[in-house]
Amino acid sequence: REESVTDSRSDCLFCKIVTGEVPAEVVREGERTVAFRDINPQAPTHVLIIPREHYRDVVSAGAAEVGILDEIAREAGEIARAEGVAESGYRLVFNTGPAAGQTVFHLHGHLLGGRGLEWPPG
Ligand code: 5GP
Ligand code: ZN
């Protein structure tokens, strides 16, 4: 729990999406997660899946909240089915730290699908 209080949730964009203070196109809500469309989509399906609780990244969340990463992965599977990309394949990505391009420090999984995805990514 300490991880979450040391972060500045008061000016966290994704915390504001959780509360509804900032609007988003929500596609699915779980008990502990919210999923919404990325404002700047990089694929036909580009959904961000976040915990309602604030964690700065995937490592903090994994250490602090048992099961949340499983839940995000499960939600991703359900959304992929609903979006019709489960068969063709999709990617679930957690950018962690500046070199990986993390710009929002509230844990989010990117669900990307609906087109061919190059590997390794750029
Ligand atoms: P990161 O680079 O931190 O892994 O990803 C942050 C993502 O959040 C980016 O893909 C960016 O387009 C998305 N994003 C930034 N601001 C907003 C917003 O206000 N609403 C939504 N829906 N997505 C956002
Ligand atoms: Zn937050």
Q: What's the pTM value of the predicted model, to 2 decimals?
A: 0.94
DSSP E strand stretches across 13-116: 26-29, 33-37, 45-51, 90-93, 109-113
Mutation test residue for ligand 1: of 28, 40, 92, the one with most atoms within 8 Å of CB:
40
Beta bridge partners of 26: 36
Q: What atom of ligand 1 comes closest to residue 40's alpha carbon?
A: 12
Position 7 scores a pLDDT of 53
Residue with tokens 């966290």: 12
Position 4 scores a pLDDT of 45
Q: Is 26 left (phi over 0), alpha (psi -120 to 50) or beta?
A: beta
10 lines ligand 1 (CB under 6 A): no
Q: Are the C-beta atoms of residues 77 and 33 closer than 8 Å to each other?
A: no
Q: What ipTM was reported for this prediction? A: 0.99
Angle 18-22-28 from CA coordinates, rounded to 5°: 45
Provide φ and ψ at 74, rounded to 5°.
-65, -45
Strand 109-113 to 90-93 pairing = antiparallel
Q: What atom of ligand 1 comes closest to residue 24's alpha carbon?
A: 22
39 lines ligand 1 (CB under 6 A): yes
CATH superfamily of 2-28+55-113: HIT-like (3.30.428.10)
Task: List the pLDDT tens digit at each of the 122 positions of the chain.
Answer: 444 444 567 899 999 999 999 999 999 999 999 999 999 999 999 999 999 999 999 999 988 888 999 999 999 999 999 999 999 999 999 999 999 999 999 999 999 999 999 999 98
38 lines ligand 1 (CB under 6 A): yes
Position 31 scores a pLDDT of 93
Ligand nearest to C-alpha 37: 1
| Spatial separation of the C-alpha atoms in residues 83 and 89, rounded to whole Å | 11
> Is 108 annotated in the active site?
yes
| Residue ID of nearest Cα to ligand 1 atom 19 | 39
Structural domain spans, the chain: 2-28+55-113
Evaluated on CA atoms 65, 76, 90, 109, the torsion sign reads negative
